Chains A and B, each alone.
Chain A
Amino acid sequence: MLWLSPLLAIALTSVVALVIFAAAGRDPFSSLVRFLFSPLGDLYSFGELLIKAAPLILIAVGLSVGFRAGVWNIGAEGQLVLGVIFGGWVALNYGPSGAPWVLPAMLLAGAIGGAFWAAGPAFLKTRFNANEILTSLMLNYVAALWLSYLVFGPWRDPMGFNFPQSEPLAPAALFPIIIEGTRANIGIIVALLTVALSWVVLSRRLVGFELKVTGLSAPAARYAGFSARRAVWIGMLTGGVAAGIAGVGEIAGPLAQIFPTASPGYGYAAIIVAFLGRLHPVGIVFSGLLMSLLYLSGDVAQMSLGLPSAITGLFQGMLLFFMLAADVLIRYRVRWRRAVPALALEAAR
């Protein structure tokens, strides 16, 4: 029955969406239809849906490994940016050579960058017991400033009319397109391979079981001899590697250039994708597609409905709220009565 709650959440969010559209003075039903379906009108838009879903799915799968073990990596946004910085360095320096190893090297560098940024909170957690939520989150801001320094400074395109952007990446540093007539590239295949790999590891290998037990009950994991520190390292690094690769996918894919803001908040949205997909690889594919649709719909809202594109984040937050509530209503039977302290009950007898 638990698969029902994401669907319930979508239904409830749609109801609130109707209210929001009505409050903004738009016709609620036609706006909702336009909001949800106009991004899917043609092949090109379908490609856009896929290239936005790919990083979300990739990062969410990576994060879900940690979330299962109760390791809260909130720093995917920063780890993505590190992927952009490390992968971008390779692309800017070796891309013009046109060598075939440039793209694999970018992916490797991005993975190392993301892992490096995730290793900080993992080290501080395992060595000093510092809360990984707060440390990984703080590093998001630091990473954004680092990228901004590079793009406003050493990496700025001398021919770019002083805009804060790097020079366009060389063709050797770009992902090949897989669907003709769209921008859909092999990043989508990378994401799907990750989904398959993580499904095998999580459900068919011992380490997946270890992580699950650690998340469900830390004492049980300790009793079974599963190392909590190992879980922190595995959880943080998988998220970091996935986010770093996703960062490379952004500059090697739709952006084809390096900008100070490399991601429209994919690192944060992926957290919601992971939970909406119930931390399960297959569920994450669906929730990633849904979240990608919401991003495209945000653009529709801005362009054809005249509403701020921030409406996307509003719906993202609501989806998670409603799913958390629906979970409880599905898991438990609700009985309306006053909670009476146990002592008072005994006294009354």
Chain B
Amino acid sequence: MSLLTILLAALVAGTPLLYAALGELVTERAGVLNMGVEGMMVTGAVVAFAVALATGNIWLGVLAAMIVGALLAFLFGVLAITLMANQVVVGLALTTFGIALGTYLGKPFVGTALVLPRGSAGGGLAQLPVVGPLFAAIHPLVWLSWVLFAGVWYFLARSRPGLVLRAVGESPSSAHAIGYPVARIRYLATIFGGAMAGVAGAYISTVYTSLWTEGLIAGRGWIAVALVVFATWRPERCLLGAYLFGGATMGQLFAQSAGVGLPSELMSALPYLATILVLVLISRDAALMRLSVPASLGKPFNAEG
């Protein structure tokens, strides 16, 4: 097994985490803590699967998942931003609701395989010298996640709207006093996060496995939320973290096929234990956490004061 195979596998497994974590990162940088990522991913996965199955077009599936994820995030926004309910509780409600909605809608599709004409996955990019084989080997959604990463990084670090979004996350009252529409910006950031969670779910059900079963998402939404903490709310560390976790997931499969003498359940538990470990390693540095976390994260903002 070559190093390249392992790296490719890490890319493939890390991509849904990257989408979901980048979306949640933007949401949280605006001061909104949406813990319902898992629920939005499950519904997104089912909707994408159903649409792709019906139309034979994976991109329509991805689009439908984005819309559904955005709608669920909007619902979160109505409760958490407009009605100022406790964001943790709303997030948990959205998780329950999203998982149940996905399971409910997905019932007829359990056990159905999604067979789509592969085509040349990389399109024209596969003809490029040197990097061409890479594009041929991976799904366009993988390299589109790099485009997303670059966009999010540029938006937050270099653009003026990104600066406004960060201001809303750090001090909504100051941003409000200057005249920025805090609630509208928070809605947009939340909806973006929901749409990205939808893409993450769509990727898992249509590209990664090509089938839908209950428990398909298996906590990846929660791992994405943890990744944002691990990344100390910075996109570049998100990228690193997503592929580390993708690698960990795949390493477990390789270890199993190589006949490592440990129970498979223990190997399957590794990504969850690794999540706890990295959370601890990052969180123990109280000063780093205080400096990194958006100051208004999880706190509702009332313009009336």
Contacts and interface: CB of A to CB of B under 8 A. Distances in A.
A344 B245 CA distance: 48
Contact of A343 (B97, B179, B226, B305): B179
The range of chain B's interface size is 35 or more
A120 B273 CA distance: 12
B279 A145 contact: no
Contacts of B265: 145-146, 148-149, 152
A313 B99 contact: yes
A59 to B, nearest CB: 14
B79 interface: yes
A321 interface: yes
A344 B181 CA distance: 13
Contact of B273 (A124, A138, A317): A138
**Dominant SS among interface residues on chain A:** helix
B96, B176, B272, B273, most chain A CB atoms within 10 A:
B96
A310 B107 CA distance: 9
Contacts of A149: 263, 265-266
Interface in B165-196: 176-179, 183
Nearest to A153: B263
A324 interface: yes
B299 to A, nearest CB: 13
Contacts of A311: 100, 104
Interface in B94-119: 94, 96-101, 103-104, 107
Interface stretch (B24-32, B84-92, B203-211): B84-92
Contacts of B269: 141-142, 145-146
A51 B178 CA distance: 57
B96 A128 contact: no
B100 A314 contact: yes
B280 A124 contact: yes
A231 interface: no
Contacts of B304: 339
A242 to B, nearest CB: 18
B35 interface: yes
Interface in B278-304: 279-280, 283-284, 286, 289, 303-304
The range of chain A's interface size is 35 or more
A80 interface: no
A142 B272 contact: yes
A100 B84 CA distance: 53
A148 B267 CA distance: 13
Contacts of B273: 138, 142
A26 B88 CA distance: 35
A129 B75 contact: no
Contacts, number: 147
A134 B79 contact: no
A130 B289 CA distance: 10
A74 interface: yes
B276 A138 contact: yes
Given A138-B222, A310-B104, A72 B88 contact: yes
B278 to A, nearest CB: 10
B268 to A, nearest CB: 5
A232 interface: no
B225 A317 contact: no
Interface string A180-224: 000000000000000000000000000000000000000000000
Contacts of A344: 179
Contacts of A313: 96-97, 99-100, 103-104
A25 interface: no
A138 B226 contact: yes
Interface string A68-79: 000010100000
Contacts of A45: none
A138 B275 contact: yes
Given A138-B275, A320-B96, A324-B83, A342 B305 contact: yes
B251 interface: no
A313 B43 CA distance: 13
Contacts of A264: none
Interface in A233-272: 268-269, 271-272
Nearest to B78: A325
A121 to B, nearest CB: 9
Given A138-B272, A308-B103, A320-B93, A342 B177 contact: yes
Contacts of A341: 176-179, 303
A36 B226 CA distance: 39
Interface in A289-340: 307-308, 310-314, 316-318, 320-321, 324-325, 327-329, 339
Interface of A: 72, 74, 120, 124, 127-131, 133-135, 137-139, 141-142, 145-146, 148-149, 152-153, 268-269, 271-272, 275, 307-308, 310-314, 316-318, 320-321, 324-325, 327-329, 339, 341-344
7 contacts: A128-B280, A137-B219, A145-B269, A272-B93, A320-B89, A324-B85, A328-B84
Given A124-B276, A275-B89, 11 more contacts: A130-B276, A138-B272, A138-B273, A139-B276, A142-B269, A142-B273, A269-B96, A317-B100, A317-B101, A321-B97, A343-B178
